[in-house]
Amino acid sequence: MSKAGGFSSDKMIRKENNSYIITNDSLRITALPERGGKISSIRYLDKDFELLFQNPAGNWGKAGLESSFEDFEAAGADDTFPSIDPEDVKVGNCDVHYPDHGEIWTSSMDAESNDDILSLSYQSRILDYSYSKRIMVRKKSVILSYMIENTGKVPFPAIWTLHALAAVDSDTEIFLPEDVNEVQNAMGPDGILDWEKDERRPYPITAGYDFRKAVNEADKGKCSKFYVPGKVTEGRCGYIYPSRGVKVVISYDNEKLPYLGFWKTIGGFRGDVNVALEPSTGFYDNTANAKKHGCCPVMNPDDILAFEVRISFEDI
C-alpha cells in the first residue's frame, strides 16, 4: 500500500476522512492529526474494551490557538506543551503567551504513514521549536515516541504532560509506582486548583478514602487533582478493570518524565466521568509554579527532548 495507508504482516494504517486508523490483531488506534495528533480511541480488541473517555459531542470542534480547553471536547488523549495552565512567560526579550493546555491540542499536524508507523510533525506558532510524534502498535502495546527540539537561539521554559482521559467503571482501580506512600492535594475546598497548597495525605488510604479506587463515594459530583510529591522512582502506573478482565500499564522513562499527577472527574465537570494519570517533565501545571518548586525544565538552543510512552494491555 502507499504512504496513505501502509501495512506489514498483521499491522495496518489507513486514512478515513481526517483520521488515521492504526491496527494489529489486538489493538485499534484512532488519531486526529488536525487536532494536534489527539488519539480519540484506543480499543483493545481482545476484550472489545475502549480505554479512552469518548467524546460526548460526537464530533470534534475546530479550536483556535487561544481557545479555552474546557469549551471543547475533554476526551481522548492529548499532549500538553509548553504548559497546562495558560500563562505569560518571558522568553529572551519577548513576552510570550502560553495558551490553555498548551498549543499542541489546537494545532494541525503534518501526517505521514510509512509501513506501520504514523509520523506527525509540527512547527510551533509561538516559539522556535519543532515537535514530532510517532504512533505505532506492537503486539498489545501502543508506543508513543516524541522528539521536541529548540530550533531557536534563546532558551525557554516548558513542561510536557500526557493528558489522556481514561474511561472508568465503578470498580476501576488506579495504581501508582510501588514506593509511593503519600500524595499531594492540589484542589482547594471550593473546587479550584490551588498551587500554593502543600497538603500531603498518606497513600493509599487516608481517613477512609482509598486513592486506589477510581470512584469513591466522596468523589461523586466532584473533580480532584493530586500529585506524587517529588520525583517518581519508577515510570510505571495504570489502571485495573476487574469486571472487564483488563489491566492497562503506562510505562515510560522516569528520568525523562520524573513527575506524576492524577486527575479525577467524577461528574464534577459537565457530568463527565474519567480519570487521567499524567506523567510530566515538570511539577505543578505551569512553568511559574514549577520554578517556585525548582522543578521547571528549560529547553536551551539545540536541546532535544526525546522519550517514549508505552500503553500496554494485559488480560487478568
pTM: predicted TM-score of the whole model, two decimal places: 0.94
Instruction: Check if the beta carbon of residue 31 is closer than 8 Å to that of residue 22.
Output: yes
Alpha helices in the chain (DSSP H): 287-292
User: Residues 6 or more apart from 94 whose CB is under 8 A from it?
Assistant: none
Residue 246 CA to residue 313 CA, distance in Å, equals: 7
Angle, CA 54 vertex, CA 147 and CA 308 arms, to 5°: 20
Give the pLDDT band (50/70/90) at residue 59. Answer: confident
pLDDT 10s digits, 243-282: 999 999 999 999 999 999 999 999 999 999 999 999 999 9
Cell of 299: 529547553
Percentage of the chain with pLDDT > 70? 93
Q: Which is it for strands 199-202 and 27-32: parallel, antiparallel or unpaired?
A: unpaired
Q: What is the mean pLDDT of the chain?
A: 93
Alpha helices in 26-72 (DSSP H): none
pLDDT 10s digits, 90-131: 999 999 999 999 999 999 999 999 878 999 999 999 999 999
The DSSP result for 210-233, as a single string, is ETTBS--GGGTTEEEEEE-SS--S
pLDDT 10s digits, 5-52: 333 345 689 999 899 999 999 999 999 999 999 999 999 999 999 999
Q: How many CA atoms lie within 13 A of 16 on its CB side?
A: 8
Instruction: Check if the beta carbon of residue 186 is closer than 8 Å to that of residue 263.
Output: no
